[in-house]
Chains A and B, each alone.
Chain A
Amino acid sequence: MSEKQLTEMDYAEFQELMDAYITRSSQQDDALPAPTFLELLFDILSQRVQNVIRLEGQVINGELVLTPTEEETPVQVRGNQILLGDWQVIVTLKNDKLQPV
């Protein structure tokens, strides 16, 4: 049964597969082999680091206005708001005004 694909199973075989999975996964933790985990973790983090989106900020009439430096970006920018998937990032200036350095 273990070599069968889901599409080749009948419901009784599928139930058997799931019952065995529940038994096994309840008794074992999900610790990955150390080399596998390290490879995946650093690959994921490296890929994130490569995905850089650059925005420029200007204060116009006291309001922060962000603009992408490239024409096409995977994020939407509206004024001081950045929309990324389900996330909305709102950037405001501390104390609501620019401070002299």
Chain B
Amino acid sequence: MRIVIPGAFTARHQDVLTRYLTDDRLLSPAEWQLLYQGVDILDTAQVHTDAGMGTFRQLYHRHIDVCFATSYLERLLALEDVETQSPALMAEFARRIAPHLQQAGLLLPDVPLTWLFYIYCVYWWQNFARGYAFEVQIVRDLRASGVKLYSHDIRDPVERRSVADMVVLNLTGDVKTSTYFLRSASSLGLPNDFYVTRLWTGGEHRLLVVFQKPTAWEKIDGDTVEGRLSDLLRLLPRPVRLQHDDVVLVVIDYATWKRRVLQVQRKEQDDE
């Protein structure tokens, strides 16, 4: 076996990757950017075996996504309480990865470059698993709140890859954890009208927010206050219009967004 890591993956990338694995709460914004860049570079790392050559991304798809994704999602959808029960499910599947790769000859104790492939697999698996746990939580919450929506079937491998996770008020939306949101923004921009995500505000506090294109918010309400990136947490839960260079987004806390969406849907229903 021979593994070729692209020259663009430097010792700094490896350093930040190790620090991320040890404790990601210590990373600065620049280090997060370096981490994402390093993982992106590893997409094209090559594994050469007697059976042929595959990139890390191709081998992840073949050995992890194809083997584990659908069974994980079926188990996830069967959980009654995703928030409390999904961590054990994620860990159970993540711990299957090492034995699976060892059996396939892709994780060898005496070949440290294969460790890098194992890290790559666990990194993307955990992001995948957490991302869908978050999506299921949000979709269930919206439905329980009475919001009418169409959501894609995550058990279907083709539908799962659709750009939008849901449609609400004819607006396309996505539920994205931080990592997926930034990776998606980097490769696709923001093709959807709104994005539900979760931010860390210190300690154990998480904040659910919705990032929207201004045109999407106009359809729901339209009213905003002007803000700067550094003001956002102080201005929420009001809808905050953020502009940085030519990019404009309206950010609102999730509960307020949901309430306004419900108001519009009920008004539409009354008008019919």
Binding site for B on A (CB under 8 A): 2, 4-7, 11, 14-15, 17-23, 25-27, 29-46, 48-49
A31 touches B33 (CB 8 A): no
Q: Which of B11-51 contact A (CB under 8 A)?
A: 14-15, 17-18, 21-24, 27-29, 32-33
B156 within 8 A of A: no
Task: Give, as a whole number of angstroms, the nearest-CB distance from B135 to chain A.
Answer: 12
B9 within 8 A of A: no
B91 touches A23 (CB 8 A): yes
Residue on A nearest B230 in the bound complex, by CB:
A35
Q: List 23 A-B contacts (CB under 8 A).
A: A4-B18, A5-B14, A5-B15, A6-B115, A7-B112, A17-B22, A21-B22, A26-B87, A30-B126, A30-B130, A30-B178, A31-B177, A31-B178, A33-B200, A34-B200, A35-B29, A40-B33, A42-B229, A42-B245, A45-B185, A45-B189, A45-B244, A48-B185
For A32, give its contact among B21, B32, B242, B247 (CB under 8 Å). B32
Hey, which chain B residues are within 8 Å of A49, CB to CB? 245-247
Hey, which chain B residues are within 8 Å of A25, CB to CB? 90, 94, 126, 130
In the complex, what distance in Å separates the CA atom of A72 from the CA atom of B112? 40
B186 touches A34 (CB 8 A): no
Interface size class of B (residues with CB under 8 A): 35 or more
A37 touches B247 (CB 8 A): no
For A31, give its contact among B110, B186, B206 (CB under 8 Å). B206
Hey, which chain A residues are within 8 Å of B1, CB to CB? none
In the complex, what distance in Å separates the CA atom of A33 from the CA atom of B199? 6
B98 within 8 A of A: yes
In the complex, what distance in Å separates the CA atom of A97 from the CA atom of B246? 34
For A40, give its contact among B32, B130, B189 (CB under 8 Å). B32
Secondary structure class of chain A's binding surface, majority of residues = helix
Given A32-B199, A42-B247, A26:B126 Cβ within 8 A: yes
In the complex, what distance in Å separates the CA atom of A29 from the CA atom of B208? 12
A32 touches B200 (CB 8 A): yes
Task: Give, as a whole number of angstroms, the nearest-CB distance from B184 to chain A.
Answer: 10
For B178-202 the 0/1 string (1 means CB < 8 A from A) is: 1101100110011000000111111
Task: Give, as a whole number of angstroms, the nearest-CB distance from B209 to chain A.
Answer: 9
A36 touches B29 (CB 8 A): yes
In the complex, what distance in Å separates the CA atom of A5 from the CA atom of B22? 10
Hey, which chain B residues are within 8 Å of A11, CB to CB? 109-110, 115
B79 within 8 A of A: no
